[in-house]
Amino acid sequence: MTPPKTFALLALLAAGAAQAQVYRNVGPDGRVTYSDQPPAAGARAAGGSAAAGGESSGGALPYQLNQTAQRYPVTLYSSKDCAGCNAGRNLLVNRGIPFTEKTVESNDDLAALQRLAGGTSLPVVTIGQQRLTGFSDQDWSQYLDAAGYPKTSQLPGSYRRPSPTPLVAARAPAPAAQAAASAPAQPPEPSIAPARNTSNPTGLRF
């Protein structure tokens, strides 16, 4: 039977491990190891994804941050000339939250936002399955804390935030309309007048 003191030590170790930054490294032979030290310059960091802003965004995320970003991805819905959108974006950037941004500009974007959020008020942020409408520093911070995001940035210096993209991708024109638009203009065909009977100009039969 394990003594109570051992249980206390295990609890302290577990708490310390939860707070420590853990990195997942993949060696040249493909072997995966875990360490509290960041990977060397030539090593590959396992994990990272486009949704979480990992390697495809210019720098692999630390392991724990990447796990949180995969479990509770953050998406910001914004528009131009939106003070709340700017404030929300600044909070996410300053805190080092990897997130994707969807812009709402066209009528199709507004219709999609209506279906998604039940309204057209901006900004909207989703943290995992949780959706928040309107900017509130306190509310956004509380939900980010609950999801497990760090309070200060842990993003690597090489990290580049993905560029904002429209909520609804622009639709390509129909093939027939595209072909008609690209076809060269044809000159009008000359009209051919019926030949006149010069021998009988009146056209009367005799």
136-149 pLDDT per residue, tens: 999 999 999 999 99
Q: Which residue has the higher pLDDT, 99 or 193?
A: 99
Distance, CA of 118 to CA of 64 (rounded, Å): 33
Of residues 15 and 176, the one with the higher pLDDT is 176
Who's near 109: CB < 8 A, 6+ residues apart?
A: 103, 166, 167, 168
| pLDDT surpassing 90 at residue 198 | no
Measured in degrees and rounded to the nearest 5, phi and psi for residue 110 equal -65, -40
Residue 15 predicted with pLDDT over 50: no
Give me the pLDDT at residue 177, please: 56
Say if CB 84 and CB 134 are below 8 A apart.
yes
The domain segmentation of the chain, as residue ranges, is 50-166
Residue 25 in this model has a pLDDT that exceeds 60:
no
Q: What is the DSSP letter of 141?
A: H
* Contact call for residues 108 and 168 (beta carbons, < 8 A): yes
Q: Which fold has domain 50-166?
A: Glutaredoxin (3.40.30)
For the chain, give the mean pLDDT: 75
pLDDT of residue 115 exceeding 50, the answer is yes
pLDDT band at residue 1 using 50, 70 and 90 as cut-offs: low
Q: Which band of pLDDT confidence, cut at 50, 70 and 90, is reported for residue 55? A: very low
Band (pLDDT 50/70/90 cuts) for residue 124 is very high
